[in-house]
Amino acid sequence: MTRAIFIDRDGTINVDKDYLTDPDQLEFIDGSPEAVALANRLGLKVVVISNQSGVSRGIVTADQVDAVNARLIEMLEEKGARVDAIYYCPHHPKYGDAVQCTCRKPDIGMLLRAKAEFDIDLNASFVVGDKWSDVKCGENAGAFTSLVLTGYGESDYQRCIDGGIKIDYLAKNLYDSVTNFVRKKIENNN
């Protein structure tokens, strides 16, 4: 089975701009392309997972999300980094069709999809994000978790503590997480 790193998009890889609709507004958080490139060199499948409830809310269209994701892949490739897949959940329990889904983080539907497509060992994989729901998603899947202090990370840190959500590594940013946590776990065969 393969190991993967599941990375949240907004607030973790790129600056969170509240329902990003214009690919030209995409801006990396410092070190993010280098972190993804390092994950590639470590032999991890890199899978971006993102809640995009703006689709259900009518704030952003699926085509706009797809365009931003395509630009993200392009910009990462320009920096020598590769993403193997991007999955997003367009649902919200109170908006749109109010569907009960299993893909919205902290549920693990996006991780299960990647597991099926890439033969991923979730227990040996990593989930990195800036929100409690990212960390809880990783915990729910049995993966290693890292909360980054970019995006909503600083405010969601206390929410994780209060909710008893297990953070395996608290990181300054994605680069810190991959360099000082993910890489060391892999090098130590954990």
Per residue, what are the HEC states of the chain? Answer: CECEEEEECECCCECCCCCCCCHHHCCECCCHHHHHHHHHHCCCEEEEEEECCHHHHCCCCHHHHHHHHHHHHHHHHHCCCCCCEEEEECCCCCCCCCCCCCCCCCCCHHHHHHHHHHCECHHHCEEEECCHHHHHHHHHHCCEEEEECCCCHHHHHHHHHHHCCCCCEEECCHHHHHHHHHHHHHHCCC
Are 76 and 84 in contact, with CB atoms under 8 Å apart? no
8 included as an active-site residue = yes
Active-site annotation holder among 8, 130, 134, 176: 8
* Catalytic center residues: 8, 10
